[in-house]
Amino acid sequence: MIKVEQLSKKYNQTEVLHIEELEIPKGQSFGLVGNNGAGKTTFFSLLLDLIQPSTGHIISKDIRIDQSEDWKPFTSAFIDESFLIGYLTAEEYFYFIGELRNQSKADVDALLESFTDFFHGEILQQKKYLRDLSKGNQKKAGIVAAFIGNPEVVILDEPFANLDPTTQIRLKQIIRDLAKTKGVTVLVSSHDLSHVTEVCERIVLLDKGKVVRDMMTNEVTLQELETYFAK
Amino acid sequence: MFRRFLSFEWKQFSRSAHFQKGIAIKILLAFAALYFIVSFLALGVFSYFMLEEMQPERDPLVVVNNYLVFWFLIDLAIRFFMHQLPVMNIKPYMLIPIRRKTVIHYLLAKTTISFFTFLPLFFFVPFSIVLLTQGYTPINVIAWFFSMLFFSLSLNFLNFLINKNNAVFYTLLSILLLFAGLKYFGIYDITQAAGVFFNKFYTLWYAFSIPLLLLILLYRRNFSFMRQSFYLDDAVRKETKEASATELSFLNRFGKLAPFLKNDVKLIIRNARSKQVLLMSFLFLFYGLIFYTQDIYRDMPAFLAFASIFITGGFLLTFGQLVPSWDSEYYQLLMSQNIPYRQYLESKWLLMVVAVVVSFILSTPYLYFGWKIYGMIAAGALFNIGLNSFITLFGGALNRVPVELNVKSKAFGNTQGFNPTQMLIALPKMAGPMLIFYIPYKIINFEAGLIALALSGLLGLVFKSFFLSKIEDVYQKGKYKTIAAFDEKK
C-alpha cells in the first residue's frame, strides 16, 4: 500500500528524517514510536504532502505523493487541532468533510451513528462550536472525521493523548476493527508504549530520524520497547 | 513588583510575532503613527487660528467645546471597536503570591497607556498652550485641559464596562449618526447644548472635579468587576456562546461551490475578526461623504473615482486581502483534503462579488449627489467586480500571514495581513481605477471616463477563468510555503 524510498527531510543542514526503505502492506495497523524530535510528525506530514521531502519519495497505491494529488480521496488524517474548523459545530464539521469526500448527509449520519458509544454524548447536539469543546472532545471529533468517506489509509498522530480512559479503550477497538475487518491501513503514533503494542501489528521505532527497530508485535514487544527507552 | 511587571510587558511587546517582522513594516507603522501624531499636533496648534478666521464673531474655544460631544462619542466608538480589557493576562498570576489588588491595579493602569490616550493629548496639549498665549486665564485653561484628560480616561474605563455588549455599540453608533443627521439638516443642534456643558469646564475652573469623580467612579467599578471575576471560571475563562447551527441550504444551488460558500458565510458571521471586517466594510459605504461634499474634489474627478471604488469595495478590499489567511487556522486540513483550488477561490470570489452588489444597492442614497456621482459609483462597482476582485485575490495569495479568527484586531498592535507585498498590490487597486478614468476623461470627457472604467471591469469578467487559473498557479507553487507560514505561530 505505502512504499517509502530513500526518504529524507533536512532543515538547513540538520537531517530530521532519513528512511532508506519502508513498506506498509494494505490493512496493516502500523505504529510509530519514538521520543520527541524522532521524526514521527515529520513522517506523517510527508505522507500528507504538507512538507516536501529533501530526497526520495513516498508512493501510496502506485501514486507518488509529492507529484500527484490522486492519493487524497483515499487518505485521511487527524494530526492536531489545525485539522479542525473551530467555528463550526461538530455536525457541521462532519458534513463539510463529508461533502469534500463525496458523502451525502445520510452517509455521514450513518457513520456517526456507529460512533455513538465513542462520542459518549459529548460531541453531537452540543450547541457548541468545536473551538469551545475540551481538548479531549476536540480530538474525538477530529478522529471520527478522519473515518468519513471510507478512506483506505488513515493517519492518526498521538490519537490517545488527551482522551479519557473509556474513550482510549473504545478507540483501540475501533482501530483494530478498521485494520482487520475493513482492510484499512492505519498509521498511528504514540508516546504510550502499551497502547501501540495493544493496537498495532507492527511497530517501528524511530530515533533521531532513523528507523532503529522494525518489529511485528508479540508478547515481548512491550518489554523490548521499555528496555530500549529506559536506557 | 510593578517593575517586574513592566519588564514582562516590554518582553511581551518586543518578542511578539508582529514586532519581529521586517524592518519595512516597522518603518511603515512608524510613519502611520507619525502621520496621526503630526495631524493631531497641527490640529492642536492651528485650529484656534483657523476657527478665529472662519468665524471671527465666535470664541474658538466655544466652537471647540461645541463639537467635543462628537469628539468623545467617536472616541468611545473607536475604543469599543479596538480596545479590549486584557483579562486573559491575569491567568499566569493567579497562582503566584502577589496580592490580587496589585495585579488588578497594574492591569487597569496599563490600559491607560495606549494609543487612544496619547492621541487626544497631541491635540489638547498644543491647543491649551495656544489658549494660554492668546490670553485666556491660565487657571481656567489648565482646569479645562485636565477635565478633557479625565473625560478621555473615563471613556477608557467606560469602554471596558460596556465592551462585552454589542447592543451598546450599535446604540452609540446610532446616537452619533442621529445627532450628525439632525445637525446636518438643521433640525436640532446638539452641539449648542453640549457646548454649554463643556464650556462650564472653562468658566468654572473647579468643575474639573466632575470628570475626576467620574473617572474615579469608573475606575472603582472596573476594579470591583475584576476583583469579583478573578477566578478561572469567570472573566478569565474564554467566553463561549451557544452555537447556532445553520443549514444555509439555500446555498446548495451553487453546486460544487456550495460547501465552500456555506463555510465562508459561517466563517464571517461567527468570528470576531471577520465581524470586524464586516463592520469596517459597512463604514466604507460612507467614504463618499468625505469626497462628494467638498467642492475641492468636485473639480478633481479622479479623486471621485478613487472614492467610488471604496464605497462598493469595502468588503472586497478588507476581506479579500486576507484570502487564504482566513483559513490559516485549519489550512493543513484543507490541504490534505481533495480540494480543487478553483472552487475554493471561486467561492471567495463570489462572496466578494455579492458584497459589491449589496454595497452598490445600499449606496443608492448617493443619488442625492446627482447622476454623475452615481454613475461613477456604478462604474466603480463594475471595476471592483471585474478587476479588483482578482487583483485582491492575487495579492492575498502572496500574503502568508496567519489570522487569528476569533480575536479582535487592535489598532497598531496588529499587523496581520500587512506587509510590503500587500502595499505593492494595493497600488493598482487604488491608482488603477483613477488612471483608467482619468486618461479618457482628459482626452474626451467625463462620460468617456465612466465608460472606460465600466468596460475595464466587464473585460476583467470575460477573462475570469484565465485570472483564476493564474491565481491557482500561485497557490500551487506556494503550497508548502503557505502551510509552513500558517503553522508557524502556534
Residue pair A29/A201 in contact by the 8 Å Cβ criterion:
yes
Cell 452555537 sits on residue? B243
Q: Which cell goes with B220?
A: 472603582
**What DSSP assignment string belongs to B267-283?**
HHHH-HHHHHHHHHHHH
Is the confidence at residue B113, as pLDDT, over 80? Answer: no
Q: What is the DSSP letter of B337?
A: S
Task: Dump pLDDT digits (tens) for A154-208.
Answer: 999 999 988 999 999 999 999 999 988 889 999 999 999 999 999 999 999 999 9
Largest CA distance in chain A: 52
Largest CA distance in chain B: 77
Paired with A156 in beta bridges are A78, A188
Chain-chain contact of A86 with B490 (C-beta, under 8 angstroms): no
B163 C-beta neighbours (distance < 10 Å), count: 17
pLDDT at residue A132 is higher than 60: yes
Q: Check: CB of residue A117 under 8 Å from CB of residue A170.
A: yes
Q: How many CB atoms lie within 10 A of CB A178?
A: 18
Q: Do residues B382 and B457 touch, judged by C-beta distance below 8 A?
A: yes
Contact list, A75 vs chain B (CB under 8 Å):
336
Reply yes or no on whether the pLDDT at B349 is more than 90. Answer: yes
Kindly list the distances between the CA atom of residue A140 and the CA atoms of A115, B242, B336, in Å, as whole numbers in the listed order: 10, 20, 19
Highest mean pLDDT out of A87-101, B47-61, B87-101, B473-487: A87-101
Distance of alpha carbon B297 from its chain centroid, rounded? 24
Compute the distance between CA of residue A9 and CA of residue B389 in angstroms, rounded to an integer.
Answer: 38
Check CB contact of B3 with chain A, cutoff 8 Å.
no
Render pLDDT for B400-458 as a digit per residue (tens, 0 to 9).
Answer: 778 888 776 554 444 444 555 666 677 777 788 888 888 888 888 888 888 999 999 99
Find the mean pLDDT for residues B298-322.
85
- The pLDDT score that the predictor gives to residue B89 is 66
Per-residue pLDDT at B147 exceeds 50: yes
- Please state the rounded mean pLDDT for residues B186-212: 85
Determine contact, residues B312/B286, Cβ cutoff 8 Å: no
Highest mean pLDDT among A40-49, B54-63, B368-377: A40-49
CB atoms within 10 A of CB B34: 10
Cell numbers that stand for A228 in this block: 530500549
Give the mutation candidate from B254, B274, B336, B482 for the A interface (greatest A CB count, under 10 A): B336
Q: Does the CB of A69 have a partner CB in chain B at under 8 Å?
A: yes
Rg, Å, chain A Cα set: 17
Nearest to B359 by CA among B392, B387, B382: B382
Chain B interface includes A147 (CB < 8 A):
no
C-alpha cell at B161: 464596562
pLDDT at B411: 44
Q: Give A-chain residues touching B240 at CB under 8 angstroms.
A: 128-129, 132
Q: What pLDDT, in 10s, does the model give residues A111-127?
A: 999 999 899 888 988 88
What is the DSSP secondary-structure string of B105-162? HHHHHHHHSSHHHHHHHHHHHHHHHHHHHTT--HHHHHHHHHHHHHHHHHHHHHHHHH
Contacts of A132 in chain B (CB under 8 A): 238, 240, 243
pTM for this predicted structure? 0.77
**How far apart are the CA of B478 and the nearest CA of chain A, in angstroms?**
11
Q: ipTM value of the model?
A: 0.89
User: Minimum mean pLDDT among B71-85, B322-336, B349-363: which range?
Assistant: B71-85
Report pLDDT for B101. 84
d(CA B207, CA B213): 10
Cell of B314: 469595502
Judge: B336–A91 Cβ closer than 8 Å, yes or no: no
Mutation target among B248, B338, B343 for the A interface, most CBs of A within 10 A: B338
Q: Which of B243, B330, B486 is facing A89, going by the closest CB pair?
A: B243
Q: B-chain residues within 8 Å CB-CB of A144?
A: none
More confident call, B297 vs B258: B258
Rounded distance, CA B470 to CA B307, Å? 29
Interface check for A10 against chain B (CB to CB < 8 A): the answer is no
- B332 to A79: CB separation less than 8 angstroms, yes or no: yes
DSSP state of B400: -
Separation in Å, CA B28 to CA A209, B35, B180, B203, B441: 43, 10, 33, 43, 33
In chain B, what residues touch A86 (CB-CB under 8 Å)? Answer: 329-330, 405-406
Q: Average per-residue pLDDT in chain B?
A: 82
Element at A56 (helix H, strand E): strand A55-60
For B415-427, what is each residue's pLDDT tens digit?
Answer: 444 555 666 677 7
Least CA distance to A84: which residue of chain B?
B330
CB atoms within 10 A of CB B129: 15
The pLDDT of residue B420? 59
Please name the amino acid found at residue B406: N
Cis geometry, peptide bond prior to residue B365 (ω within 30 degrees of 0): no
Nearest to B373 by CA among B314, B311, B433: B311
Q: What is the pLDDT of residue A44?
A: 94
- DSSP letter for B239, please: P
The DSSP annotation for B168-195 comes to HHHHHHHHHHHHHHHHHTTS--HHHHHH
Look at residue B351 in the predicted model and tell me its pLDDT: 92
| pLDDT grade for B196, boundaries at 50, 70 and 90 | confident
Contact A87 B242 (CB under 8 A): no
Q: Are A132 and B237 in contact (CB under 8 A)?
A: no
Under an 8 A CB cutoff, do A87 and B333 touch?
Answer: no
Closest alpha carbon within chain B to A69: B338
For residues B287 and B277, what is the distance between their CA atoms, to the nearest angstrom? 15
The mean pLDDT of A129-153, rounded to a whole number, is 93
A169 touches B at CB < 8 Å: no
Task: Please report the DSSP string for A112-174 in residue order.
Answer: HHTTHHHHTTSSTT---BGGGS-HHHHHHHHHHHTTTT--SEEEEESTTTT--HHHHHHHHHH
Task: Give me chain A's average pLDDT, please.
Answer: 92
Q: Are B153 and B112 in contact (CB under 8 A)?
A: yes
| Interface residue A75 vs chain B (CB under 8 A) | yes
d(CA A102, CA A163): 29
- DSSP for B376-404 reads HHHHHHHHIIIIIHHHHHHHHHT------
* pLDDT of res. B489: 59
SS3 label, residue A90: helix
Distances (CA, A) of B480 to A67, B331, B441: 13, 11, 46
Q: If phi over 0 gives left and psi between -120 and 50 gives alpha, with beta otherwise, what is residue A27? A: left
Contact B332 A50 (CB under 8 A): yes
Put simply, whether A86 touches B (Cβ < 8 Å) is yes
